[in-house]
Structure 1
Amino acid sequence: MTTTLPDYYFRIRENGAQVFRVDAESRNRRIEMDQIAVVNLRKRDIKPHGDRVLSAEDRSAIEAWMQDRSALLATREVDDILRTVDHLNLTAQWAQSRASEAQLDQITDALLLAMHDLRNVLVRKKADRLGQNSPDTSA
């Protein structure tokens, strides 16, 4: 365990975080955390807590955290999708080699509809990208 604590603590929420200033120098040698802001990553919004006014240092630390957190979430999102590809491959192997008729009856319609929906989205998005990248031949 490190001997120094960070100046800020970010309690993760579904769409951001509550931001606390950490004070390890209080009397009685207790760690105190004072909430200073609430962050909304989706809106890129920082709201001071209560009547608090955020310092330039506070805002800088929060903005750095927001940038780091957004990058981490983007990386995780792609990783989750790549795991889904692996899982689809494992599902195909399971359906081909081990699944009982009752198990296949239980999952087939839901899986086929989800895969059909995903295929439609992917084909449409790919067509849009190809249309944007092709030279204009209508002239």
Structure 2
Amino acid sequence: MSGDLPDYYFRIRENGAAVFKVDTENRQRRIELEEIAMVNVKNGNIKPHGDHKLSPEDSAAINGWLADRRKLLESREVDDILRAVDHLNLTAHWVQTRASEAQLDAVTDTLLLAMHDLRSVLVRKKAERLMKGDQAAE
């Protein structure tokens, strides 16, 4: 089993990960995790843990993980938005077919404000993109 383990383990946190070096080469043949760094996905900061000095291999593994994690989070973000579109459609169907007056009273104002806010932002961003396109064409 130890031959199948990666050299590094990344414990995901809300804004990045704690990085551990995986060690299976010890007398007890137990898996040991030595924390070597903290990574912030948003700003790319890598902070060695304690007095640990990151080797070039450590840095390469962390930077590779960081690039892969950013790609994954970006793809998940788009997928989450597409799921939100599906959920809006399901919500419209629920409103039209099953929602009671009390349920509608509980959600209508909040939904209308959220949809108005979203629509405003989408229209503004689309107008900005169209203006940039027009300026580039000139």
Partner of 1:10: 10
- In structure 2, give the amino acid aligned to 1:98: R
Aligned-residue sequence identity (percent) comes to 66
The question of whether the paired residues in 1 share the 8 Å contact of 2:2 and 2:24 is answered with no
Cα distance in 1 for residues equivalent to 2:120 and 2:2: 51
**Where does the alignment leave 5 or more consecutive residues of structure 2 unmatched?**
none
Deviations 1:99-125 (A, max 9, x none): 111111110000000000000000000
Partner of 2:32: 32
Instruction: After TM superposition, list the pairs within 5 Å mapping 1:27-106 onto structure 2.
Output: 27-106=27-106
TM-score of the pair, normalised by structure 1: 0.95
Cα distance in 1 for residues equivalent to 2:46 and 2:66: 10
Cα RMSD for the two superposed structures = 1.6
Give 3-state SS (helix, strand or coil) of 2:52's partner.
Answer: coil
- In structure 2, give the amino acid aligned to 1:45: N
Report deviation, 1:136. 6.6
Cα distance in 1 for residues equivalent to 2:90 and 2:4: 45
- In structure 2, give the amino acid aligned to 1:62: I
Cα distance in 2 for residues equivalent to 1:2 and 1:33: 13
Cα distance in 1 for residues equivalent to 2:68 and 2:52: 24
Cα distance in 1 for residues equivalent to 2:53 and 2:130: 49
Count of equivalent residues: 138
Cα distance in 2 for residues equivalent to 1:49 and 1:89: 47
